[in-house]
Amino acid sequence: MKGFSALTEKPWLALPDGQLALDPGSGTPPAQIALRFLLMVISIAFVLIFVTFLTRSQYPDFQALAGEPWLPFNQSPRLWATTAVLVAASLAMHWARHSIKAGRPDGVMLGISVGGFLALVFIMAQWTTWNYLTNLGYGINENSANSYFYLFTGLHALHLFGGVVALVRVFIRIGKGYSLEQVAIAVKACTTYWHYLLGLWLLLFFLLTRSPETYAIIAAACGLG
Amino acid sequence: MYIAIVIVALVAVTLILHFASPWWLTPLASNWSAIDTTIEISFWITGFVFVAVNLFLAWTVWRFRHNKNRRSHYEPENKKLEIWLTGLTSVGIIAMLTPGLITWANIVHVPDDALEIEAIGQQWQWTYRFPGEDGVLGAANARFVSNENRFGLDPSDPNSADDILVEHHRLHLPLDQPIKLVLRSNDVLHNFAVPQFRVKMDLVPGTQTYQWFTPTREGTFDVLCEELCGLAHYTMKGQVQVEPEEEFRNWLATYPTFSEVQSDSAVDLAVGETQYQTCAGCHNADGSGNEALNAPNLTRLDSRYMARQMRHYREGIRGTEREDEPGQLMVSIAQSTNVDTEPDLLAYIESLDDVDTAGTLTGDISNGQRLYGACAACHGSAAEGKVLLSAPALAGQSDLYLKRQLEHFSMGWRGKHPQDQFGTQMRLMTRTIHSPERLRDLLAYISTL
Amino acid sequence: MTHIAVADQEPELHHPRTFIGKYIWSQDHKVIAIQYGCTAIFVGLIALVLSVVMRLQLGFPDQFDFINPNMYLQFVTMHGMIMVVYMLTALLLGGFGNYLIPLMVGTRDMIFPYLNMLSFWFYFLSVLVLLASFFVPGGPTGAGWTLYPPQSILEGTPGSGLGIVLMLVSLAIFIIAFTMGGLNYVTTILQARTRGMTLMRMPLTIWGIFTATILGLFAFPALLVSAIMMLFDGLLGTSFFMPAIVSLGEATDFEGGSPILFQHLFWFFGHPEVYIVALPAFGMVSDVLSIHARKNIFGYRMMVWAIVIIGGLSFVVWAHHMYVSGMNPYFGFFFATTTLIIAVPTAIKVYNWVLTLWQGNIHLTVPMLFAIGFIFTFTHGGLSGLFLGNVVIDMPLSDTFFVVAHFHMVMGVSPILVLYSAIYHWFPLVTGKQLNTRLGMIHFWGTFLGTYAIFLPMHYIGFLGVPRRYYALGDTSFIPDSAHALNANMTIAVIIVALFQLVFIFNLFWTMKREPKSKINPWGAASLEWHTPEVPPGHGNWGKELPTVHRWAYDYSVPGVVQDYIPQHVPDSDVVYESGFDPSTSKREPT
């Protein structure tokens, strides 16, 4: 491992033949490194909530939102629809990224516009889901399963919204006439972020619409039962 | 240069303080001498390292102080030395950890013959429950808590019927009997700690925790809450009295079971009314009191509060101080009251219509309101009193009576007896009033409620 | 390809013209560092005053009518929270991290200067929100700095209304600020080091800051998550942490939550937080000791590994704060073991500091005195940690003043001695002036001896069983009167220590106004930050060309070399040897 051997170097030794130790940083652009760290930070936050969620799902008062025919997410066409929107947003962003490589500025504009717009549509759709749940009587404080649903989807939507703000900045820059090269890193970063949030959403979707039995299995597998 | 000398001096001071310190672990009163042994082992090991490292540091600073004719030695690392130091440190760590983990295994495993007792914490008092004849503690949940069911026992659980409820902050324990203390809280986090027993554990609402120990020494020890549980955390104290088995049995027999507490013993208001004629002389026929005779207004008081005060008067817990003249008068009255019909009497007083005594003191009401903030937690924001918190109503009470009581508390003329848990708390709380002006402001505010 | 090419491009930098651009909305890491530093010192002084007030009550119970139980708990809480998060974390990482990282790794600025500026202003906002809680009805929260639910959001605890909400919101803003800063520090250290600056040539200061920042990035989410969930519980009535309970005699609607879950989340942050404070301090003190003893740091590699290992282990010891919390008691075995294991790398660091001094040529300057004081207090605090980490000993001692004494020695006094050491050490770089030595000496002796006078006896009060967070002790059967007298003495020591801090503040102003310019690099340090073309470093730090690094930061008293240190950017060919010395015989040659 390169990282490990770098830590065993004896820095006080002179290098043979006055050779220069050139190793500052790797070739990865800093923005990408920063984004990787950011995604790790976000992942840790969500993993921690997952852990509390799985622990909490094994308490007697927890009433899952799926598993019986009358529960709101036993069949979830609504959530499948929002998922489709987010997948489309991710594809659009991927198109933008592809267009950067291909050198097509209009493709980039189109990709990020559609990607950003669909992200906003997704957030709106989540909003209607919350209303739908509340109207059915599944308010945020009725049961902890509901609380977690609002918490998870709310935080996810907030992160997506943050991404949209970043995307608007890119959009404005392109409008101001920045070259593709100047925005390439930002577009790539946004695309990675979109894919990440899509993956996170799929995980949330899976986790929030399981039956109590499945929770028991997952919790036991994680040693939280 | 001074720094080397000072470090040597600080090491010396530390050692002297350590060996001459009168402040040390309280004498052990439980079976956990292994904890003290582990502490002692740790002291020898860490003490050796502390002295060795710092004396070496002082020597180094002295020996290698700046000298412009000398140059530092150049040595990037010394593997052998570092491996040795790591090894020795590890040995020291293992020597401390091993007895620790062995003892911990004993702390985790409760012996089979342990007597199970429950300690219940609530803001800011301790109560206890014994399993009764069936040897099983009945189910309990905060949802069942009410003025009639203060322990929150599940009335539908047959196991709870014979549970013995000790609504008192002093717990008696039999000597040399392993105790499993089950811990439960109905409101917030607390911690049951007796310094002499060495073990402690948090009480966590929503779940049960436990600790176990065997009391090995007779005596009375303080129970402290050691998890910050709100404003009056520092007043949440109880007591444990360790005594021979027989005395313990006698003590336990004086407390009622859950079913006895639940069954409404029929009260006879007519009997109470007859009884009340004695009281009416001072407290007035309508119970409104008479400040000229130092008699407080009884109409807003809860019968449980009055019953407790009557018991305190009778048992020499209240009204024993020479300065508390009205109290001394009540002692003789309480002693002559028929204990069997006292519930009738108190029920009759409770049935009287509420009468408010008008305030007489003037003061800065807004300042009083600020001061009352601390009182509101127990006595209620409208000073209506809270049965669950054992806090009497203050609204409508004669302000001169309240003034006298607060003064008595702060002077230690009331609430000094160790059996008087709430009096002790009030003594601590009244110390925060500080001045007669602030007391007047406070009372003026209470009069407005 | 490396990123140096980008860092070399001067035009990338944004040159401010106006006063506001230069000092307020500045994107220069040095200005941001000073902004961070001043704000942190300011809130630190507030927290210091709070501690004096609460100590007055402990030492002289009920003598002062401006203290009441509510305020006592509020002051305890705010003192703790401000010192740990808003002062130490912000000053060490936001202040020293910002100032030193670009200079020590040889770059012009942080990689994302705009984000860096935002980081400070978010931090500033979090401080404002925090201070605002002093002025809302009910006052700031008094739930203890651990903010344990259920009590923190229930009536009966001071500040359970707006106070706790503002506290949680402020923490959330702080975490956003920290994340923005942290991403910057990590990326800058990883990607913007100058030519020749390999990871193992970085000064230990950077290693400490780097590891601490990663700890912060991974640990603060736990606090953020718990803060958000508690806000939900408090404001929206959810039951993440709230079981079915009665509150001051009233039934509540909560159902089924677990307060212990919060404690796990809190300490999953809280323990790494200890090292977020300690590791930068470890790094800085290593550099000060080495420079002022004119000797290379002993066992550099071991020091780096120890920092990394301590950082890693700090994520698997959190539940040692919860031995008596009612969690599954079997966890005790695991966490006691990991906790005591962490003592090994920590002990190695202490040995290596002392061994660095051994056979050195020790200049007892003010920074060096503070550093030596640190070794003493840290040894003391670290050793008392072995008691608390060992689960059975924690049983009698947890929640007593022994715990308070322990963590104040180890993460109060010790990092603060390092902070002072660092301030005296780097002041000539930041301002071009050396802090007055006489005043510095007075400040050192008062602080060092005074704090020991506070915290040494406090351990024994704890042994006695005196509980912490008690407004007054009242009557107990086991606390002798002498303990009360001791408490009064500790309070007097606190007041004395607080007064000596005024000497420091005075010294700052005195030096800025009266002292002459000091010479450049007055301590003869080899690390890169002292070798900028201008002192204090100008905008962009390095003039036209970035320096190239040819050696580690600890080439002091190299045998045969004329000068007693070789700066990092001096190539081997420029090193002047004593006549007749054959460099090939030196220990620096690879074998």
**Which residue range(s) make up the domain with B400?**
269-447
CB proximity C101 to A under 8 Å: no
Best of A1, A8, A19, A37 to mutate (most C CBs within 10 Å, chain C): A37
Mapped onto helix, strand or coil, the DSSP state of residue C297 is coil
Q: Does C154 sit within 8 Å of B187, measured CB to CB?
A: yes
Can you give the pLDDT of all 591 residues of chain C as single tens digits? 334 434 444 444 556 667 777 778 889 999 999 999 999 999 999 999 999 999 999 999 888 888 889 999 999 999 999 999 999 999 999 999 999 999 999 999 999 999 999 999 999 999 999 999 999 998 999 999 999 999 999 999 999 989 999 999 999 999 999 999 999 999 999 988 998 898 999 999 999 999 999 999 999 999 999 999 999 999 999 999 999 999 988 889 998 899 999 999 999 999 999 999 999 999 999 999 999 999 999 999 999 999 999 999 999 999 999 999 999 999 999 999 999 999 999 999 999 999 999 999 999 999 999 999 999 999 999 999 999 999 999 999 999 999 999 999 999 999 999 999 999 999 999 999 999 999 999 999 999 999 999 999 999 999 999 999 999 888 888 999 899 999 999 999 999 999 999 999 999 999 999 889 999 999 999 999 999 998 899 988 988 889 999 889 999 998 888 898 999 999 888 888 888 877 776 656 554
The CATH code of the domain that includes B254 is: 2.60.40.420
CB C340 within 8 A of CB C389: yes
**Closest Cα of chain C to A32: distance in Å?**
9
What integer pLDDT is reported at residue A1 of this predicted model? 40
Mention every residue, 6+ apart, whose C-beta is less than 8 A from residue C398: B200, B226, C323, C324, C388
> Which member of A24, A48, A155 has the closest CB to residue C2?
A24
CB atoms within 10 A of CB C113: 20
**Is pLDDT above 70 for B422?**
yes
> Which member of C333, C350, C390 has the closest CB to residue B38?
C390
Main-chain phi, psi angles of C561, to 5 degrees: -90, 140
Q: Does C244 sit within 8 Å of B57, measured CB to CB?
A: no
Chain C contact set for A49 (CB, 8 A): 225, 229
Chain A contact set for C221 (CB, 8 A): 41-42, 44-45, 48
CB proximity C224 to A under 8 Å: yes
Q: Does A140 sit within 8 Å of C221, measured CB to CB?
A: no
Please state the domain count of chain B: 3
pLDDT tens across B99-132, in order?
999 999 999 999 999 999 999 999 889 999 999 8
What integer pLDDT is reported at residue A19 of this predicted model? 60
What integer pLDDT is reported at residue C380 of this predicted model? 96
Determine, yes or no, domain membership for B380. yes
Best of A57, A130, A147 to mutate (most C CBs within 10 Å, chain C): A147
Q: At which of B229, B262, B295 does a domain end?
A: B262
Half-sphere exposure of C172 (CA within 13 A, CB side): 14
> Do B119 and B226 fall into the same domain?
yes
Q: By C-alpha distance, which of B227, B186, B191 is closest to B207?
A: B186
Q: By C-alpha distance, which of B140, B230, B239, B129 is closest to B189?
A: B230
> Do B273 and B327 fall into the same domain?
yes
**Closest Cα of chain C to A93: distance in Å?**
24
Distance CA B42, CA B34 (A): 12
**Closest Cα of chain C to A16: distance in Å?**
8
Instruction: With residue C548 as reference, give the H or E element that holds it.
Output: none
Best of B24, B145, B189 to mutate (most C CBs within 10 Å, chain C): B189
CB atoms within 10 A of CB B135: 11
Vertex C330: Cα angle to C326 and C331 (nearest 5)? 75
Vertex B62: Cα angle to B61 and B64 (nearest 5)? 70
Chain C contact set for B108 (CB, 8 A): 329-330, 332
> Do B232 and B276 fall into the same domain?
no
CB proximity A52 to C under 8 Å: yes
CB A163 within 8 A of CB A193: yes
> Which member of C245, C483, C564 has the closest CB to residue B205?
C245
> Which member of B3, B35, B387 has the closest CB to residue C393?
B35
CB C11 within 8 A of CB C518: no
Best of C374, C390, C444 to mutate (most B CBs within 10 Å, chain B): C390
Paired with B225 in beta bridges are B192
Chain C contact set for B388 (CB, 8 A): 246, 248-249
Distance CA B229, CA B322 (A): 36
Burial class of residue A139 (count of CB atoms within 10 Å of its CB; 0-12, 13-18, 19+): middle
**Closest Cα of chain C to A91: distance in Å?**
28
- Window 105-124 of C, Cβ < 8 Å to A: 105, 111-112
Q: How far is CA B423 from the centre of its chain?
A: 12
Architecture of the domain spanning A75-209: Up-down Bundle (1.20)
Chain B contact set for C352 (CB, 8 A): 82
Q: By C-alpha distance, which of B422, B187, B442, B413 is closest to B318?
A: B413
- Window 149-178 of A, Cβ < 8 Å to C: 151, 155
Indicate the pTM of the whole model.
0.94
CA-based nearest residue in chain B for residue C345? B86
Domain borders along chain A are 75-209
Distance CA B4, CA B55 (A): 9
Q: Which region, left, alpha or beta, applies to residue B207 given φ > 0 means left and ψ of -120 to 50 means alpha? A: beta
**Closest Cα of chain B to C68: distance in Å?**
6
CB C557 within 8 A of CB B74: yes
SS3 of chain B: the string is: CHHHHHHHHHHHHHHHHHHHCCCCCCCCCECCHHHHHHHHHHHHHHHHHHHHHHHHHHHHHHHCECCCCCCCCCCCCCHHHHHHHHHHHHHHHHHHHHHHHHHHHHHHCCCCCCEEEEEEEECCEEEEEECCCCCCCCCECHHHCCCCCCCCECCCCHHHCCCEEECCCEEEEECCCCEEEEEEECCCCEEEECHHHCCEEEECCCCCEEEEECECCCEEEEEEECCCCCCCHHHCEEEEEEECHHHHHHHHHCCCEHHHHHCCCCCCHHHHHHHHHHHHHHHCCCCCCEHHHCECCCCCCCHHHHHHHHHHHHCCCCCCCCCCHHHHHHHHHHHHCCCCCHHHHHHHHHHCCCCCCCCCCCCCHHHHHHHHHHHHHHHCCCCCCECCCCECCCCCCCHHHHHHHHHHHHHCCCCCCCCCHHHHHHHHHHCCCCCHHHHHHHHHHHHCC
Mapped onto helix, strand or coil, the DSSP state of residue C406 is helix
> Do B423 and B289 fall into the same domain?
yes
Distance CA B39, CA B28 (A): 13
Q: Does C65 sit within 8 Å of B231, measured CB to CB?
A: no
Chain C contact set for B221 (CB, 8 A): 477-478
pLDDT tens across B209-266, in order?
999 999 999 999 999 999 999 999 999 999 999 999 999 999 999 999 998 888 867 7
pLDDT tens across B342-360, in order?
888 898 998 888 888 888 8
Q: Which region, left, alpha or beta, applies to residue C107 given φ > 0 means left and ψ of -120 to 50 means alpha? A: beta
**Is pLDDT above 60 for A38?**
yes
User: pLDDT confidence of A225, banded at 50, 70, 90?
Assistant: low
> Which member of A22, A38, A49 has the closest CB to residue C195?
A22
Chain A with chain C: Cβ pairs closer than 8 A:
172
> Do B365 and B333 fall into the same domain?
yes
Vertex A140: Cα angle to A139 and A143 (nearest 5)? 85
> Which member of A6, A33, A44 has the closest CB to residue C187?
A33
Residue found by looking up tokens 């902050």 in the block = B169
Mapped onto helix, strand or coil, the DSSP state of residue A61 is coil
**Is pLDDT above 60 for A132?**
yes
Tell me the pLDDT of chain A averaged across its residues.
87
Determine, yes or no, domain membership for B72. no
Amino acid, single-letter form, for residue B355:
V
Residue found by looking up tokens 């007064």 in the block = C499
**Nearest 10 degrees: Cα torsion C163, C167, C170, C174:** 170
> Do B435 and B303 fall into the same domain?
yes
User: Could you tell me the end-to-end alpha-carbon distance of chain C, in angstroms, rounded to an integer?
Assistant: 31
Taking residues B148-177, what's their average pLDDT? 92
